[in-house]
Amino acid sequence: MARVCLDPGHGGYDPGAVGISGLKEKDITLAVALETGSYLTNSGIEVIFTRDCDQVSWPSEINQDLAGRCRIANQANADLFISIHCNSAGNPDARGTETYSYTLSDRNQKGAEASRLIQAELVASLGLQNRGTKTNNFYVLRETVMPAVLTELAFLSNSEEEQLLSQPDFRTRACKAIARAVIKYFGLSLADLNQVSTGPRLVINGEPAVNVPYRIIEGKTYVELVSFISSLGGQSLWDEKTKSINIQIKKSYNA
């Protein structure tokens, strides 16, 4: 069975890029990784996550953070590593999708192949500017022993693309695109992605929620509150004085 390690960029102490409206990269990458993992699992691929919630298993230090992600992938003997990110730039007009592999040496030809497949599927599905496939000396590409890819879905620093990243339907298109590319990479048969259940069913005010971030622990399903509230365009705040979790949603919920 093919084995893929999905790495939701940033997390825990590190929000990653933050958009104009406050959307955090770490929440988007987690939601995309979890849903992509469901599609891959239903297509017969074993999936390992470097993190499956907003808590991280490594110290709050960048080098140990990156080393921890690589260690998880390497110890799992993954066949492919995919790090999922959202881009950011000082120029608010910067936009588009790009995907990286380590180098074009013989050892990393498969990484380059996976990069091309993922980039092509993302561009076709998301309809954003094609910034192409590139190579880079990123730590997680260099220190993983299997073919490795890092994809930048869109720019959080671009107001239009931040709005797109906040939309569950847009993220689902990205998830399905990555899943299709991985299936092609391994030469496997693709499950009907429209029939795949990606998590528990949650209903709010009579309307079904989508892209619910969840974990199953000892047979019980837990919804990861911070990521879910963020996906609705809101935020959760801890009030130490009253020991309360205050939920603020800036826009009405749309399923």
Question: What are the residue numbers of the active site?
Answer: 152
Other C-beta atoms closer than 10 Å to the C-beta of 31 total 26
DSSP tag of 195? G
Residues whose CB falls within 8 Å of the CB of residue 195, separated by 6 or more in sequence, listed in order = none
Among residues 111, 52, 38, 55, the alpha carbon closest in space to that of 78 is found at 111
Residues whose CB falls within 8 Å of the CB of residue 219, separated by 6 or more in sequence, listed in order = none
Q: Which helix (H) or strand (E) holds 155?
A: strand 148-155
Residue 87 DSSP SS3: strand
Angle at 167 between CA 164 and CA 173, to 5 degrees: 85
**Pairing of the two strands 203-204 and 234-239:** unpaired
Query: How far are the Cα atoms of 187, 199, 220 from residue 217, in angstroms, in the given order?
Result: 32, 14, 5
Residues whose CB falls within 8 Å of the CB of residue 60, separated by 6 or more in sequence, listed in order = 12, 13, 14
Tokens of 218: 């000892």
Question: What does the CA dihedral 238, 242, 244, 250 come to, rounded to 10 degrees?
Answer: -70
